[in-house]
Amino acid sequence: MTERTTPLSHAEATARGLVLGEDGLARPEWASHDPLLRNYYDHEWGVPVTDETGLFERLSLEAFQSGLSWATILKKRPAFREAFANFNPEVVANFDDTDRHRLLADTRIVRNRAKINASINNAQATLQLRDSGGLATLVWSFQPGSWTPPKSVSEIPTTSPESHALAKALQKKGFKFVGPTTMFALMEAVGIVDTRVEGAHRPDNT
């Protein structure tokens, strides 16, 4: 658990690229206005995810997010969970052409054939990893040995040596839509790297 930080003033928050909300909490711009994004940032983003299903879901949603806004994906997440059997990799791995047609016809989700096929493919690859420790073991093995949280939003990178290495490792195992930028976003979201700016609101369980 990271030590609590003292509240920032408006000037301090602005200097760090943060927005100070009416509740007195500082957040990055992307998490400051939309209630759905604010709730996600306050309670989920950066909280460690270490189970297979949780990581498969996040990996799948990050792939679907490529080229879109995260707000779009969050709004559709309940529908995604229903359409993809709560992201149970054993179920998704057995999706057939009937399921593909069903997903392509589901207006509640992102109807992208390549991304849908990638999710099914990645579920199959996830099952294959079980013999060598599993998806969680592989993904978390790329956690940096040391990491210094950024002091301002401008210092937050979009990739890292570890995200490049993770992308290559997953691609070698047959995963799709797992480029280094997408994998860095995954690493941020599931708590592998901490890019929460100093002074920004932080959940109690991170």
Q: Which residues are catalytic?
A: 40, 62, 70
Identity of the residue numbered 119: S
Q: Which residue has the tokens 């189970």?
A: 51
* Nearest to 18, CA basis, from 41, 50, 43: 41
51-to-17, 126, 138, 147, 184 alpha-carbon distances in Å? 33, 12, 12, 23, 18
DSSP states along 153-192: GGG--S--HHHHHHHHHHHHTT--S--HHHHHHHHHHTTS
Q: How far is CA 187 from the centre of its chain?
A: 7
Residue 127, number of CB atoms within 10 A of its CB: 18
Give the closest residue to 50 by CA, choosing from 137, 178, 145, 142: 137
Here the tokens at position 67 are: 């080229």
